[in-house]
Amino acid sequence: MKYVIATHNKGKLVEFQRLLEPMGIEAVTMDIAEPEETGKTFAENAFIKAEAACKKTGLPAVADDSGLCVDYLDGAPGIYSARFAEPGKRRLTVLEKLKGVPEEQRGAHFVSAVCCVFPNGDKIEAEGKCFGKIAFESRGENGFGYDSIFQQGDVTFGELTAEEKDARSHRGRAFAEFEKKLRAYLEGKA
């Protein structure tokens, strides 16, 4: 089965391929323009992206909208995580905004909303969350985005292997739910 992945984010693409391959899905990308994300929630934005990619390609399309929600910042950057600051300065911007904030007030969580839209108009949606806190400094070279400042226990997501991150991350949880729903959907179509 070939599904188009509605993202231009290379880090997300690698994770999508790693998570979808065990389901027998060949995750491909196509050079298509990303639609404007006008949704008010992660789920709405994931649907907007998946629907646009499905319509452009005629293939089932999978999209994710995800982001970091920091308690001290009233949930920001939230759905604006990819546009929170200039590329390359997003992590530093979060760290600067939390400068001097004590550990007990640095709570945060990641959200991932996954949506798959089929050419017949059917859709499957799933969401995953994971909770932690914002570290005092960026640590680790793995992952992408805010991974090196998001801490669970004593480690940041940037210090985890891909397998460790998948087991505990928002996207890993969303895809576990998505996999169950997709298998049930495909079995119903067989």
Q: Could you tell me if 178 and 116 are in contact, meaning their C-beta atoms sit under 8 angstroms apart? A: yes
Q: Is 166 annotated as catalytic?
A: no
Of residues 15 and 61, more confidence is placed in 61
Q: Output the average pLDDT for the chain.
A: 92
Q: Give the integer Cα–Cα distance in Å for 113 and 90.
A: 21
Q: Which of 16-30, 77-91, 109-123, 134-148 has the lowest mean pLDDT?
A: 16-30
Domain 2-189 classification at class level: alpha beta
Of residues 18 and 152, more confidence is placed in 152
Domain ranges of the chain: 2-189
Q: Give the integer Cα–Cα distance in Å for 57 and 81.
A: 27
Q: Which pLDDT band holds residue 21 (cuts at 50, 70, 90)? A: confident
pLDDT confidence of residue 150: 97
Residues ≥6 apart with Cβ < 8 Å to 157: 140, 142, 143, 146, 147, 148, 150, 151, 165, 169
Q: Which pLDDT band holds residue 17 (cuts at 50, 70, 90)? A: confident
Of residues 52 and 85, more confidence is placed in 52
Q: Which pLDDT band holds residue 143 (cuts at 50, 70, 90)? A: confident
Annotated catalytic residue within 65, 74, 122, 154: 65
What residue has token string 């998505």?
178
- The conformation of residue 75, written as its DSSP 8-state character, comes to T
And the tokens for 126? 């799933």
Per-residue model confidence as pLDDT tens digits over 54-103: 999 999 999 999 999 999 999 999 999 988 888 889 999 999 999 999 99
Of residues 29 and 189, more confidence is placed in 29
pLDDT at 113 over 80: yes
Most confident of the following: 47-51, 165-169, 172-176, 179-183 = 47-51
pLDDT at 190 over 60: no
And the tokens for 8? 């231009």
Q: Give the integer Cα–Cα distance in Å for 165 and 14.
A: 13
Instruction: Give this prediction's pTM.
Output: 0.89
